[in-house]
Structure 1
Amino acid sequence: MAMDSGVFTIAELVALGWPPTEIRRAQRAQRLISIGRGWVRTDAAHPDVVSAVMAGGALSCVGALSFHKQHRWPKIWIPSGYSDTHVRRSKHMKTTARPTGPFHWCQGYGRPLPVTAAVDSVAVAVGCAARCVTGEEWIAIVDSILNSTEITIPDLQADMGRVTQTVSRLFARCDARSQSGTESIARLRLISAGFSVEVQPSISRHEHADLAVGALLIECDGKLYHSDEASYRNDRRRDRMTLIDRWMTMRLTYDDVLYDWAGVLEDIRSVTRQDRHRIRRTDDPRRKHASPS
């Protein structure tokens, strides 16, 4: 991933097969520009990565996760509101310039891990994010990683450094079935409110909804959701299908979940208070009550 960022160490170049004479020739020709002891960049280098290395560390936390989202795993969920350059500082690196722009210094739990690349791995970035973002946001990030990449919880735990009891409890609340950050946060908030929540309930032989509280289906749209005509028609077809099968459907937007949760929760409770959400179909084995007392 360092080559993707355009920032790398001399040792990385050598490991990639660059002869030392070619590296020196590229430096003299300004095709490789020194930005710190043992670090160089290309003209096309990612500016946030350059800034992080020049500040004396590696791009980490939500910054590194955003980088991985852009270059390899587009479905990793990134919470909004973290626009600063997040840097995991190395005690062994000397800065070459005064940091410019808004910076946020990050560090995971336990002893500092060495900085060996310009962009932290997903696991190390997740470890740093545990001390930067909210618990809900962190779980939503990890849900998206589990759902959209080949990375598992043991993979993350093996490489992220110290796993504290707090982080272990957060891992225990993660669910790889969640397909969007909005869905993850809605699930967590419903459970916190006392509801029994089913994730990705089957509504036909080949289709699933996002969440279910009894017979109330909850569909969550992501921040960048834009329904084209085909998707719009399919959503309405699904709504008709589930209504015929005695489901109710409530559709929530990103803004509904993130910024108007009190209103959403009141709407859900207005349904559950009337006992309309309880499953009554004789052909459905799921009969557990879903609303809090």
Structure 2
Amino acid sequence: MSDHPGRVQTPSPLPRALSTSDLREAGLTKRQIATAVRQGRLIRLRLGRYAPDHTPDIFIDAGRWGGRVDCVSLLSYLGVFVHTHDAPHVQVDRHATRLPPRPARVRCHWRSSSAPSASLAVEVVEALAQAVLCQPARHAIATLDSAWHLGVVDVEGIDEVFRRLPRAFRVLRTLLDPRSEAGVETLVRLILRTLGHRAELQVVIRGVGRVDLLVDGWLIVECDSRQFHSEWEAHVRDRRRDSAALAQGYCTVRLLAADVLSRPDAVRLQLQSILDRGPTVPRSGTSGRGPRVEARGSRLRGH
């Protein structure tokens, strides 16, 4: 990762606007610029600002509105988990004037940015800090876990996010765990924490394989989504894993990602009911001394 705190590695350079002077320095004449716009090879954002035709629409829109892609909009574009993304989030310089009209649904974050003036997106650390402010605490933790796990931000970047936030948010730092491979895993882990149970992430169990969460050493919790469970072969593999786990005395509950996201209270009650009953059979070969675990999922650098 970068040696500079808060600097991150993104999948590719984020889009930037091109000024008329940029295009002229590249050798284009005024007539050639106009022709490129007419032919669709250049997109005019605002007076004197352009973008190449391959620029994603979200950045084109932000540029036309006089801002930069920000918060959950940028993070969603980068593949980071966000619970809800139903409107564009755009950073606008607080002293900006004569801005073009924009749809009422656009969420504007009026603040300065450390991003280069030509950038059509804020820096990722800025977006993460803003996303913490814009989301409920649990959703914000899931977003931070996701960004960290994916390598979109490193440990120095995470620390920089919290330096940019009010002190009251620093308690969230202690709840992060980049071993969560999906946002729903983080949300389930936090539910289990409120129920007073210990959940281990990405545990490898002999004869079963790696499981999403292992609770109190006996309950396996798997978070299933359509993305990875749409084919019959995936269901067959999961049933065989569940049978192998049951043979060793583990119980498995499979939660639907859609339920975790939209019906968290029902999921909480379901988990509470299962955990209150406790394990029904002893695990074979354990004599009550704990699970037959080969290894736990490795932590990412810096955690």
Specify whether residues 144 and 279 from structure 1 end up closer, same or farther in structure 2 by C-alpha distance, changes over 3 A only: farther
Specify whether residues 278 and 271 from structure 1 end up closer, same or farther in structure 2 by C-alpha distance, changes over 3 A only: farther
Q: Residue in 1 aligned with 2:103?
A: 100
Unaligned runs of 5+ in 2: 1-9, 293-303
2:61 is aligned with 1:57: no
Q: Residue in 2 aligned with 1:10?
A: 19
Contact 1:216 1:277 in 2 (8 A): no
| Residue of structure 1 aligned with 2:127, choices 122, 125, 128 | 125
Q: What letter matches 1:282 in structure 2?
A: S
Contact 2:113 2:122 in 1 (8 A): no
- Structure 2: how far apart are the matches of 1:44 and 1:136? 35
Q: Residue in 2 aligned with 1:291?
A: none
Contact 1:56 1:89 in 2 (8 A): yes
- Structure 2: how far apart are the matches of 1:248 and 1:217? 6
Contact 2:72 2:82 in 1 (8 A): yes
Matches within 5 A, 1:147-226: 147-149=149-151, 151-158=153-160, 162-204=164-206, 207-214=209-216, 215-222=218-225, 224-226=227-229
Contact 2:68 2:92 in 1 (8 A): yes
SS across alignment from 1:56: coil
Unaligned runs of 5+ in 1: 70-75, 288-293
- Structure 2: how far apart are the matches of 1:203 and 1:12? 61
Q: Residue in 2 aligned with 1:138?
A: 140
Q: Residue in 1 aligned with 2:298?
A: none
Matches within 5 A, 1:57-96: 57-69=67-79, 76-80=80-84, 82-91=85-94, 93-95=96-98
- Structure 2: how far apart are the matches of 1:175 and 1:13? 43
Contact 2:15 2:121 in 1 (8 A): no
| Residue of structure 1 aligned with 2:279, choices 249, 273, 276 | 276
Instruction: Name the one with the larger strand percent.
Output: 2
2:250 is aligned with 1:250: no
Contact 2:207 2:244 in 1 (8 A): no
CA drift at 1:24 = 4.6
- Structure 1: how far apart are the matches of 2:46 and 2:124? 24
Specify whether residues 41 and 212 from structure 1 end up closer, same or farther in structure 2 by C-alpha distance, changes over 3 A only: same
Contact 1:51 1:100 in 2 (8 A): no
Q: Residue in 1 aligned with 2:33?
A: 27
Q: What letter matches 2:268 in structure 1?
A: L
CA drift at 1:286 = 5.8
Q: Residue in 1 aligned with 2:112?
A: 112
SS across alignment from 1:243: helix
Contact 1:199 1:210 in 2 (8 A): yes
Q: Cα deviations across residues 224-281 of structure 1 (Å, max 9, x unaligned)?
A: 4433122111101110110111100000001322233333333333333333279762
SS across alignment from 1:251: strand
CA drift at 1:283 = 7.3
- Structure 1: how far apart are the matches of 2:221 and 2:28? 58
Contact 2:208 2:241 in 1 (8 A): no
Name the Cα RMSD after superposition: 3.2
TM-score, normalised to structure 2, is 0.77
- Structure 2: how far apart are the matches of 1:23 and 1:115? 29
Specify whether residues 219 and 33 from structure 1 end up closer, same or farther in structure 2 by C-alpha distance, changes over 3 A only: closer
Q: Select between 224-233 and 153-162 the one with higher mean Cα deviation.
A: 153-162
Q: Name the count of aligned residue pairs.
A: 274
Q: Cα deviations across residues 10-48 of structure 1 (Å, max 9, x unaligned)?
A: 39958xxx8343375652322434423553123443332
Q: Cα deviations across residues 194-217 of structure 1 (Å, max 9, x unaligned)?
A: 222222222127822111222011
* Amino-acid identity (%): 23
Q: What letter matches 2:214 in structure 1?
A: A
Higher relative contact order (CA 8 A, sep 6+): 2
